[in-house]
Amino acid sequence: MKISENFRALTPNYLFAEVAARVAAFTAEHPQKNVISLGIGDVTLPLPECVVQALRAAAEEMGEQASFRGYGPEQGYDFLREAIAGYYAGKGVKLNTGEIFVSDGAKSDLGNILDIFPRGMTVAVPDPVYPAYVDANIISGNKTVFVKALPENGFLPLPDKSVKADVIYICSPNNPTGAVYDAEKLRLWVEHALATGALIIYDAAYERFITDKALPTTVYSVPGAEYCAIEVCSFSKTAGFTGLRCGWTVVPETLAGGSVNAAWLRRQCVKFNGVPYVVQRAAQAVLTPEGLRAADEHIAYYLENARLIAGALGEKGIRFFGGENSPYIWMECGMPSWEFFDKLLDSAQIVGTPGAGFGSGGEGFFRLTAFNSHENTLAAAERIKRL
């Protein structure tokens, strides 16, 4: 029995598993110390009440003969796909429900979408960026080329004609840097993809955090994107679904004459059983006016946490990026990032995420998240000031 050689090319531990292991070792050695996590980007606020009510009602339905549901459609129930189409209509983007595929979260589809394309492709990935992009392509046997995201370009790299790629990953707002593409820069990427025949996989998991109305929240706000882009989104950070698991992927029927859409539907029918009915009813509740108001209140809460962290770093004279239209603060740490991780944990009992875990371009930087409580974030900010 042999394991694929592609798996042997992966690092031994996934970034966030390594962070969790180091924190567990520290707390076991120092059980009396109060550790505050600004590391793994998990939410802390409870689900909005309208979402909980939808969950309860759907669970009751499952206990009645007349309303019981068995196997659901792999691509999602029509009621949720129609709600998502309505959400895009509010952005000025028209989608057919057949272009929307409900998933168990963004990370799954960002990797699984590779199933329908040839092995050995060349994939362009920003550096630094969410490590699952790179790992998924290593597993698929693809060649990864890196597009450098640097302070000099605002961590928003633009197309390089010398870089040839079949697939281009774009994350906006970016994880980990918090940078957001404006309409003009995003247009350059769409035009590049159209000119070269590349496919853009656009990760919009944090789109609801964009409060600046001048910034695009979907790639399809750029003319022509429907011919070159797949968009992946999630309820995880928008509405606290990290424990429920629900998201969606848009695969336009205009991509390659509809062949990409058809292939993705076929793949999902083979390898995905769909998202539970009760979770999809909860997701539908998020996209009501009441649900979106509650989601925006939660997002405002987290963005206030980001401002607290930014204020502490600014007071210390530490250069940082992000935090305005993103839940992430990307700070310079002035030393190897894993060394800074240990230093911050030992001296201030604060957990962050080393920039090196997001790629070689992340070395010397450190990611802090805004997803803890106000009280804990304020305490962490005060600890930073005292360092």
Backbone dihedral region of 199: left (phi > 0), alpha (psi from -120 to 50 degrees) or beta?
beta
CATH 3.90.1150.10, the chain: domain bounds: 5-47+291-386
The pLDDT score that the predictor gives to residue 11 is 81
| 287 CB-near residues (< 8 Å, 6+ apart) | 83, 84, 86, 87
Q: How far apart are CA 139 and CA 137, in angstroms?
A: 5
Determine the 3-state secondary structure of 189 from DSSP.
Answer: helix
The pLDDT score that the predictor gives to residue 325 is 95
The pLDDT score that the predictor gives to residue 12 is 74
Give the pLDDT confidence of 167-202 residue by residue, as tens digits: 999 999 999 999 999 999 999 999 999 999 999 999
Other beta carbons less than 10 A from residue 237's beta carbon: 25
- CATH 3.30.540.10 describes domain 51-288: no
Is there a contact between 298 and 45 (Cβ–Cβ < 8 Å)?
yes
Counting as low any pLDDT under 70, the low residues of the chain are: none
Determine the 3-state secondary structure of 94 from DSSP.
Answer: coil
pTM exceeding 0.85? yes
The pLDDT score that the predictor gives to residue 162 is 85
CATH 3.40.640.10, the chain: domain bounds: 51-288
- CATH 3.90.1150.10 describes domain 5-47+291-386: yes
Q: How far apart are CA 169 and CA 167, in angstroms?
A: 7
The pLDDT score that the predictor gives to residue 217 is 98
The pLDDT score that the predictor gives to residue 10 is 86
Q: How far apart are CA 123 and CA 144, in angstroms?
A: 5
The pLDDT score that the predictor gives to residue 84 is 98
Our CA dihedral for 112, 116, 122, 123, rounded to 10 degrees, sits at -30
Backbone dihedral region of 316: left (phi > 0), alpha (psi from -120 to 50 degrees) or beta?
alpha
